[in-house]
Homo-oligomer: A and B are copies of this chain.
Amino acid sequence: MEERQALSIFAALSQETRLRIVRLLVVAGEPGLPAGAIAEEMGTAASTMSFHLKELEQAGLVRSRRESRSIIYTAEYGALSGLIRFLMEDCCAGRREVCEPALAVATGCCAPDAPRACS
């Protein structure tokens, strides 16, 4: 991942509503959620939600598709794992203090007998 996209993703995730949107969409999974449902869940005006969703889409964190009258948003898992990779490779440079704790978490998350949720 290039620095420019990482900066863009950090900016996108630094806003409370947008972080909650990403969380919501990650849990929602493949089927995703229509913009209106997200706005209702967050308690914001439709236009405000549209603004935030555009930010997230431009950062590459979500993808949208039209389905009849609705526009359905889904999480882009690759952007999230790419960001984690960026943090480890960029911040690990020359040091292991960052990478090793991350390895421990990832190992716990992804063990064959781990529950579906990683926390």
Residues in chain A within 8 A of chain B (CB atoms)? 3, 6-7, 10-11, 13-16, 19, 22-23, 26-27, 29, 77-78, 80-85, 87-103, 105-107, 109-110, 116-119
Contacts and interface: CB of A to CB of B under 8 A. Distances in A.
Given A7-B16, A26-B95, A98-B84, A89 B110 contact: no
21 contacts: A3-B16, A7-B19, A11-B11, A23-B90, A27-B95, A29-B95, A80-B87, A80-B98, A81-B98, A84-B87, A84-B88, A85-B101, A87-B87, A89-B109, A92-B109, A93-B118, A94-B116, A99-B118, A103-B106, A103-B107, A106-B106
Nearest to A118: B92
Which 8 pairs show the lowest CB-CB distances between chains A and B? Answer: A92-B118, A77-B97, A10-B14, A89-B119, A103-B106, A81-B101, A11-B14, A99-B109
Nearest to A85: B105
A27 B94 contact: yes
Main secondary structure of the interface of A (DSSP, over half): helix
